[in-house]
Structure 1
Amino acid sequence: IQSKFMHRVKLSKFCGGRQHQNVVLKCGKIGYTDIRSMKDIVGGDAEGDFSGPIEGKFFLFLDQVTDPQNFGSILRSALFIGVDGVIVNKTNACGLTPVVSKVSSGAIEFIPLYSVKFVSHFFDDAKKSPLNFKVISTS
């Protein structure tokens, strides 16, 4: 990693006034991967032949979690318990903001994040899948 020294005032301006503790790392933007079904995650073809091991995988689906503090906390906990990916409803998901990143304590960098536009189709497809996905819900 290449480092560069910068005057504190210039560094603050570079950070847009956000807190930086005199250290900044410039990195790429994190985003959701758009998917339509679980096949987009685990691979496979129209006949149901899947390319990778799916046994024991654990995906977390979140709907209407819009608060960045809550979302970041959920991501942090999800990483700790071993979630293989987080899927959100695209129409009402929390954005991947600096607050989410900070609250997640780095988890946002390690958990694959997916978004789904048509939730009912997504779950119908999962139920009909030859992989027998178990869908457990709570509110």
Structure 2
Amino acid sequence: MRYEELTIEGRNAVMEAYRSGKTIDKLFVLDGCQDGPVRSIIREAKKQDTLLSYVAKERLDQMSETGKHQGVIAYAAAYEYAEVEDMLKLAEEKGEPPFLFLLDNIEDPHNLGAIIRTANLAGAHGVIIPKRRAVGLTATVARTSAGALNYTPVAKVTNLSAVIEELKEKGLWFVCADMGGEVMYSLNLKGPIGLVIGSEGEGVSRLVKERCDFVASIPMKGDIDSLNASVAAGVLAYEIVRQRMS
């Protein structure tokens, strides 16, 4: 199976996982913790027959990947990676031209989580990440996505360039974010589109950039030379959203 073990930490993240119907295998709760939000989580756990353990704070601290467990940690049947095909089907079901995010070299889990959150809110049909030199769906990614990971499919592929070529044959075209490109407001970003975002340090790799139809730059007036990758993704995604609505 295409699974990665998933630890969900923090009250909101655990509650959101229950609400979205995710299967929680085990729930660990700080022994003696009786406040409202934790009681609600325990109620959900009992409803769904989750294996429930009350443990000492030291045990939770040891288990925690983020250091911010707020007295609850859940082990979930981890996020199953989607297939790229699932994303195209989702677009078709919604009667919308496909809108995908492709991420090249994103190694920071906070950036990945924030980009998945943006993709969800911008109405994208999925996020494609590479297997190598990139972060997968960890607890930090899940928490930073603020629940979006429960709704936005993520596919993990061996070769981004090859996937771009396959999707071009299905009518998508691709725009990547790069300082050296044309100002995004002058580009036509309508129709079936893939938005390619690279890491702050390296940007989009040369091979992937060569496959893109357009290179878009975000106008910047400040004194530093680049935006955080997740912010760049948000700015470009919402220019695409604006053009789709007009």
> What's the offset of the Cα at 1:67?
0.8
The structural deviation recorded for 1:105 is 1.3
Q: In the alignment, is residue 19 of structure 1 matched against residue 60 of structure 2? A: no
Identity of aligned residues (%): 26
Q: Describe the SS at the equivalent of 1:66.
A: coil
Q: Shift of residue 61 of structure 1?
A: 0.6
Query: Which of 56, 73, 76 in structure 1 is aligned with 2:97?
Result: 56
1:133 to 149, 155, 172: 172
**Counterpart amino acid of 2:88?**
V
Aligned counterpart, 2:148: 107
TM-score, L = length of structure 2 = 0.44
Is 1:89 equivalent to 2:137 in the alignment? no
Q: Is 1:42 aligned to residue 91 of structure 2?
A: no
CA RMSD of superposed structures (Å): 2.7
Q: Which runs of 5+ in 2 are unaligned?
A: 1-43, 47-51, 179-246
Change (3 A) 1:40 1:72: closer
1:125 is paired with a residue of what secondary structure?
helix
Q: Which residue of 2 aligns with 1:8?
A: 56
d(CA) in 2 for partners of 1:103 and 1:39?
26
1 or 2, which has the higher helix percentage? 2
Quote the residue 1:47 is aligned against: none
Instruction: Note closer, same or farther for the CA distance 1:16–1:76 as it changes in structure 2 (3 Å cut).
Output: closer
Q: Deviations over 1:54-106 (max 9, x none)?
A: 64221111111111111111111111111110001222221211111121112
| Aligned residue type for 2:173 | K
Q: In 2, Cα distance between the equivalents of 1:77 and 1:21?
A: 25
5+ long unaligned stretches in structure 1? 44-51
Task: Report the AA paired with residue 115 of structure 1.
Answer: K
- Hey, what's the Cα distance between the residues in 2 that align with 1:20 and 1:58? 34
Compared with structure 1, are the counterparts of its residues 97 and 5 closer, same or farther at alpha carbon in structure 2 (3 Å cutoff)? closer
Name whichever structure is richer in strand by fraction. 2
Return 69-78 or 52-61, whichever deviates more: 52-61
Q: Which has the higher contact order (CA 8 A, sep 6+)?
A: 1
